[in-house]
């Protein structure tokens, strides 16, 4: 009986250790070295536009808040010319909460940052664009697990604009 107890205990401890190991390793395993990372210092990128999505919008659950859209220098000329974007173009949405007070919509804390990143070869199945988003802008909290369903299905409607919703506002 004593031997059996020790055996059960050892199995239980091993199982716990294996489980703990999985929990620790999983967040890293989910992200490969090739996955997009949240870009640093995007607030010095070219500011494309601001937008507010409020409760009246069907997009509120997924994208409600105050949007600031930026583009990196690689894509800036294509945005202004209205032509397809070159590889390594990155669009970034910095999405924040907002409060309304006396008719003023005031920006609050960050909800998420989201990028779309051009690589015609790598992301051929989703229009040449890769997508990722991070809760609170935190690189350890990626939100996109299925870019086709979560991103591309909606962006497909803008195929004639290289899948991009933003346009150049001089």
Kindly state the number of chain residues that form the binding site for a second copy, as judged by CB under 8 A: 33
Neighbours of 114 (CB within 10 A): 24
Binding mask 108-127 for a second copy (x = CB under 8 A): xxx-----------------
Quick one: which of 37, 43, 88, 141 contacts a second copy (CB under 8 A)? 43
Q: 48-67: which residues touch a second copy (CB under 8 A)?
A: 49-60, 66-67
**CA gap 141, 119 in Å, rounded:** 23
Q: If binding is defined by CB under 8 A, does position 46 make contact with a second copy? A: yes
Three-point CA angle 105, 109, 113, nearest 5°: 105
Q: What is the Cβ-side half-sphere exposure of residue 137, based on CA atoms within 13 angstroms?
A: 14
Under rule CB under 8 A, residue 158 binds a second copy: no
CB 70 within 8 A of CB 45: yes
Joined together, the tokens standing for residue 97 give 């909460």
Q: Are 129 and 91 in contact (CB under 8 A)?
A: no
**DSSP state, residue 32:** -
Q: Is 99 a binder of a second copy (CB under 8 A)?
A: no
Smallest distance, Å, CB 70 to a second copy? 8
Using left for φ > 0, alpha for ψ between -120 and 50, and beta otherwise, residue 37 falls in: beta
Task: State which residue, 53 or 147, has the beta carbon closest to a second copy.
Answer: 53
Decide if residue 70 touches a second copy (CB under 8 A).
yes
For a second copy, which is the closer residue by CB, 130 or 155? 155
Nearer to a second copy, 67 or 155 (CB): 67
Residue ranges that bind a second copy, judged by CB under 8 A = 43-47, 49-60, 66-68, 70, 96, 102-110, 169-170
């Amino acid at each position: 009986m004593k031997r059996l107890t020790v055996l059960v205990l050892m199995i239980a401890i091993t199982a716990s250790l294996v489980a703990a190991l999985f929990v620790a390793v999983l967040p890293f395993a989910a992200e490969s070295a090739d996955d997009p990372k949240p870009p640093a210092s995007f607030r010095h990128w070219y500011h494309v536009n601001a937008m507010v999505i409020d409760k009246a919008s069907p997009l509120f659950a997924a994208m409600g808040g105050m949007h600031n859209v930026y583009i990196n220098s690689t894509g800036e000329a294509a945005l202004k010319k209205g032509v397809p974007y070159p590889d390594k173009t990155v669009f970034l949405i910095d999405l924040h909460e907002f409060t309304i007070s006396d008719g003023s919509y005031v920006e609050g804390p960050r909800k998420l940052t989201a990028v779309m990143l051009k690589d015609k070869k790598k992301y051929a199945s989703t229009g040449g664009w890769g997508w990722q988003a991070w809760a609170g802008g935190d690189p350890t909290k990626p939100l996109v697990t299925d870019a086709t369903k979560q991103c591309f299905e909606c962006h497909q409607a803008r195929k004639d604009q290289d899948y991009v919703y933003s346009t150049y506002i001089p």
